Structure 1
Amino acid sequence: MAGKQNEKRFLLRLDQALYDRLAEEADRANQSVNMYMVSLLSANHGTKSFENRQIIGKTVLGKDIHADNGLVLVAGIYYRYLINDNSDVDQTARYAVIEANGNILTLQKI
């Protein structure tokens, strides 16, 4: 119970469509919506790199992911990439950039 004393509660208003998207992503991550949002905030708090400021959350078209050379084009820059579930690239799908580690981006199909 001591950990609960260090937690801060606050009201956050989201439109239904955003909440539904977060709920789906939380379900895929096997987390509650609250824990998923805390993990997103924790992962992105205080990050100072260009990628974390400008690239995280960007949407990438499958046609911009080049499986043959392992590169993805995001905001005019080529990066190496990983797909979060190790699936093959679906050229017709859209992907979200969910993590940046140096010049390697982690993508999640949306």
Structure 2
Amino acid sequence: MEKDDMTTFLFRLPTSLKEKLSKKAKQENKSVNATLQTIVNESLSLKGNSSEPLEQRLFLGKLVKPEQFDEIDGLVKVEGIYYRYLIESNQPFEPNLNYIIIEVLGNILTLRPLKQEGEK
């Protein structure tokens, strides 16, 4: 995929299909958006294209530990490089939780907190 500006558009689908998509995204530790991008890329035979961003190929599903965060500057260090980050559903950073990368967009990582054992 060439480096393109991102765009948005309205996409309608049945609720049951949206639920399946959300379940698949959660199982793969990705956002729904990242899962849809993968599905579209695969269906257009673009999977594995070397022009796909490195972060997209290597970071999705990667564990991020609390010590990798720089709370003062709002950055997270992954593979030796600092990235801006968002936490799913605009949750605040919790220094006692691990996170998983569910989406990569440019230099911004979207993270999902991992529940501690015993939490629902």
TM score, norm. by length of structure 1: 0.62
Task: Tell me, in whole angstroms, the C-alpha distance in 2 between the residues paired with 1:89 and 1:43.
Answer: 27
| Superposed counterparts of 1:79-94, under 5 Å | 79-94=83-98
20, 36, 42: which is aligned to 2:36?
A: 42
Deviations 1:40-97, CA, capped at 9 Å, x for gaps:
6423343711111011110101221112101101122110111112122111111011
Kept in 2, the 8 Å contact 1:99–1:105? The answer is yes
| Ranges in structure 2 where 5+ consecutive residues have no aligned partner | 1-17, 26-31, 42-46, 115-120
1:1-110 alignment runs, 5 A limit: 32=19, 34-36=20-22, 37=24, 39=32, 41-45=35-39, 46=41, 48-110=52-114
CA-to-partner distance for each residue in 1:2-56, whole Å, 9 max, x for gaps?
A: xxxxxxxxxxxxxxxxxxxxxxxxxxxxx63x22227464233437111110111
Unaligned runs of 5+ in 1: 1-30
Q: Is the 8 A contact 1:96 1:108 kept in 2?
A: yes
| Cα pair 1:44 1:52 within 8 Å, conserved | no
SS for the counterpart of 1:79 is strand
Closer, same or farther: CA 41–75 of 1 in aligned 2, 3 Å? same
Q: Calculate the aligned-residue CA RMSD, in Å.
A: 2.0
Which structure has more relative contact order (CA 8 Å, sep 6+)? It is 2
The residue number in structure 2 matching 1:20 is: none
Deviation at 1:101, TM superposition (A): 0.7
Aligned residues between the structures: 79
Separation in 1 of the partners of 2:96 and 2:37?
29
